[in-house]
C-alpha cells in the first residue's frame, strides 16, 4: 500500500522523499504542516485520526463546500486512517503502522502515547530505524503538562510584547506563526535524522517545541537580550536597528520603504529629490539615521506625500530601493501570479479537486507532487487496514 508501483519509462519524476513512509499521529497545525511538506516531496503520509477526526475539520468558517479551509490548507497528499486508541484492535493496527514507518510524528502531550505502547522506547524495539519526532508546546521536562497553543507561546515567548504600537496593547501575530515555524523545524530535523540513518542505520528520537522555536525565531530580538542585555519593546512598525524600514504615508495611502544600507538610502534620496541628506552627518550612516529617525522621518514624508503608491513603487524599485505596497491576501496571491510564481495549484481531479497553495520549494529534478486532495475522515481506512493486517514483504 505504502510503496507505489515503479513508474513507467519516461513517466513523471518521483519526489525526493519517494519511498519513505510517514506515520502521522499529529493534529491541528505544526505536525500536519510538517507532514504535508514531506508528502509534497514524495513521502507516503498516513494521517492517523481519532474517531472524530482532526480538530481542524470543525474549525470553520471559512469553508470550501462544507469542509474547513483550515483543514484543507495543511493536509493534502495524505491518506486518512481513523483509529480509536481505546480499542485493542485499533491499537494493534497503530503499532503495526509504527513498526513499518520510516518516520513517526506525534504531538500528544509528552508521554501521552506510552499507555498505548506507541512511545519512542516501545516503537524502537520493533523498529530501531524509525525517526520519531515529538512536537510539544514547552518540551518534555518541567512544563510538559502545559497545553501547546500558539497564542500561549506568542505571549510567553515575548513576541506579543514586540507587536503593536508603543503606547498600545500587545497584539498576537496574524497567523499561528510559531506553529508554522515549529513545523518547519520538525521537517528540517527529520531530514537531518534521516541523513544520519542513511550513514549509520540507526533511527533516533527528536523533540521540537513551540517555545524553543519561538526563541530561535525571534532572532535579533532574542539575541539583543541574551547577547546584549537589552530587552526589546514595542515599536509599532518601526525597526530597532534600521531607518527607514517601515510603512510611510504617501499621497494615496502607505508604502513600505526600506533603506537597508547607505547606498539604498542615497538612491532613495535621489528619487525623492533630496540630494543633500546622505551628506548630512545626522543621516550619513545607518546608525546615524536610526538615532535621528524622528528628525529624518518628516523630511522623507514631505516628499513621499506628493506621489502615489504606484508611482513610487515603480520609481524606487527601478532605482534599487526596496519598497512594497501593503496588500490583502487576495492582492498578495495576485502579485505572486504576476511575478510568475504560480502560487495556486489544483490538487486532485474532478469534483474532489481542491485549489491549494504551491509547495514553497522548487526542485529541478524531483518536483513536488499534488496528487491527493486532503482526505475525508478514514477515506482510505479499508485499504490501509487490509495492508496493515497482511503479512509484511
Q: What is the pLDDT of residues 323-350, one digit of tens each?
A: 999 999 999 999 999 999 999 999 999 8
Q: Pull the grid cell for residue 308.
A: 502615489
Among 4-13, 123-132, 237-246, the range scoring the smallest mean pLDDT is 4-13
Q: Which domains does the chain have, with CATH numbers?
A: 21-219+351-389 (3.40.50.10540), 245-337 (3.30.1540.10)
H-helix segments, 18-119: 30-40, 69-72, 88-100
Query: Given this model, what pLDDT does residue 90 score?
Result: 98
Q: Are 232 and 221 in contact (CB under 8 A)?
A: yes
Strands 204-209 and 67-68: unpaired
Whose CA is closest to 384, among 133, 86, 45? 45
Residue 248 and residue 301 in contact, taking contact as beta carbons nearer than 8 Å: yes
Q: Which residues make Cβ contacts (< 8 Å) with residue 342, sequence separation at least 6?
A: 336, 358
Q: What percent of the chain has pLDDT over 70?
A: 97
Angstrom distance (rounded) from CA 222 to CA 293:
23
**DSSP per position, 301-337:** HHHHTTS-HHHHHHHHHHTT--EEE---HHHHHHHHH
pLDDT tens sequence across 55-84? 999 999 999 999 999 999 999 999 999 999
Cα distance between residue 135 and residue 182, in whole Å? 8
Q: What CA–CA distance (Å, rounded) separates 229 from 222? A: 10
pTM score, whole prediction: 0.93
Whether the pLDDT of residue 267 is over 70: the answer is yes
Going by pLDDT thresholds of 50, 70 and 90, the confidence category of residue 143 is confident
Alpha helices in 158-308 (DSSP H): 159-162, 177-200, 210-217, 219-226, 262-272, 286-291, 293-304
Through-space distance between the first and last CA atoms of the chain, rounded to whole angstroms: 11
What's the mean pLDDT in 297-317? Answer: 96
Between CA 249 and CA 40, with CA 343 as vertex, the angle to 5 degrees is 135
Q: Which of 118, 122, 81, 126 is nearest to 99 (CA)?
A: 126
* Confidence at 12, pLDDT banded by 50, 70, 90: low
Residue 298's contacts (CB-CB under 8 Å, 6 or more residues apart) are none
Give the dihedral of Cα atoms 247, 249, 252, 254; nearest 10 deg.
Answer: 10
Encode 114-175 in three state secondary structure. Answer: HHHCCCHHHHHHHCCCCEEEEEECCCCCCCCCCCCCHHHHHHHHCHHHHCCCCCCCCCCCCC
8-state DSSP, 15: P
Burial 189-208 (b: 16+ CB within 10 A, else e): bbbebbeebeeeeebbbbbb
Count of alpha carbons within 13 Å of 233, Cβ hemisphere only?
5
Q: What is the pLDDT of residues 219-246, one digit of tens each?
A: 999 999 999 999 999 999 999 999 999 9
Q: Is the pLDDT of residue 99 over 90?
A: yes
Separation CA 148–CA 232 (nearest Å): 24
* H or E element that contains 384: helix 381-389
Q: Tell me which H or E stretch contains 253.
A: strand 253-258
Catalytic positions are: 179
Residue 197 pLDDT exceeds 50: yes
Helix axes 381-389 and 88-100, enclosed angle (nearest 10): 70
Give the pLDDT score at 13.
75
Strand 253-258's sheet: what is its strand order? 245-250, 253-258, 323-325
Distances 285 to 34, 262, 269, 372 between C-alpha atoms, Å? 42, 6, 14, 53
Amino acid at each position: 500500500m505504502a510503496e507505489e508501483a515503479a513508474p513507467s519509462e519516461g513517466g513523471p519524476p518521483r519526489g525526493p522523499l519517494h519511498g519513505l513512509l510517514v506515520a502521522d499521529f499529529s493534529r491541528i497545525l505544526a505536525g500536519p504542516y510538517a507532514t504535508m511538506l514531506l508528502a509534497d516531496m514524495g513521502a507516503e503520509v498516513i494521517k492517523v485520526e481519532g474517531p472524530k477526526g482532526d480538530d481542524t475539520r470543525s474549525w470553520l468558517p471559512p469553508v470550501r463546500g462544507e469542509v474547513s479551509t483550515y483543514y484543507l490548507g495543511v493536509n493534502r497528499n495524505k491518506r486518512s486512517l481513523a483509529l480509536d486508541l481505546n480499542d485493542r484492535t485499533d491499537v494493534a493496527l497503530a503499532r503495526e503502522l509504527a513498526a513499518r514507518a520510516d518516520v513517526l510524528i506525534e504531538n500528544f502531550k509528552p508521554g501521552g502515547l506510552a499507555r498505548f505502547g506507541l512511545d519512542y522506547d516501545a516503537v524502537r524495539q520493533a523498529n530501531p530505524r524509525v525517526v520519531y519526532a515529538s512536537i510539544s508546546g514547552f518540551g518534555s521536562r518541567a512544563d510538559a503538562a502545559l497545553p501547546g497553543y500558539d497564542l500561549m507561546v506568542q505571549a510567553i515567548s515575548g513576541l506579543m510584547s514586540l507587536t503593536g504600537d508603543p503606547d498600545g496593547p500587545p497584539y498576537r501575530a496574524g497567523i499561528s506563526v510559531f506553529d508554522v515555524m515549529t513545523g518547519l523545524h520538525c521537517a528540517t530535523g527529520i531530514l537531518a535524522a534521516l541523513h544520519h540513518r542513511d550513514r549509520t542505520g540507526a533511527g533516533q528520537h527528536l523533540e521540537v517545541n513551540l517555545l524553543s522555536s519561538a526563541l530561535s525565531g525571534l532572532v535579533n530580538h532574542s539575541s539583543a537580550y541574551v547577547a546584549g542585555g537589552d530587552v526589546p519593546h514595542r515599536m509599532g512598525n518601526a525597526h530597532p536597528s534600521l531607518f527607514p524600514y517601515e510603512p510611510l504615508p504617501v499621497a494615496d495611502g502607505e508604502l513600505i520603504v526600506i533603506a537597508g544600507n547607505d547606498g539604498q538610502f542615497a538612491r532613495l534620496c535621489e528619487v525623492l529629490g533630496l540630494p543633500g541628506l546622505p551628506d548630512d552627518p545626522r543621516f550619513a550612516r545607518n546608525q546615524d539615521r536610526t538615532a535621528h529617525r524622528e528628525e529624518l522621518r518628516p523630511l522623507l514624508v514631505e516628499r513621499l506625500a506628493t506621489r502615489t503608491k504606484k508611482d513610487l513603487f515603480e520609481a524606487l524599485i527601478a532605482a534599487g530601493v526596496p519598497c512594497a505596497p501593503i496588500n490583502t491576501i487576495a492582492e498578495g496571491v495576485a502579485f505572486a501570479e504576476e511575478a510568475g510564481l504560480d502560487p495556486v495549484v489544483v490538487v486532485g481531479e474532478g469534483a474532489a479537486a481542491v485549489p491549494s497553495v504551491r509547495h514553497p520549494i522548487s526542485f529541478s529534478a524531483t518536483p513536488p507532487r499534488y496528487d491527493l486532495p486532503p482526505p475525508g475522515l478514514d477515506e482510505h481506512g479499508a485499504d490501509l487496514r487490509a495492508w496493515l493486517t497482511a503479512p509484511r514483504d
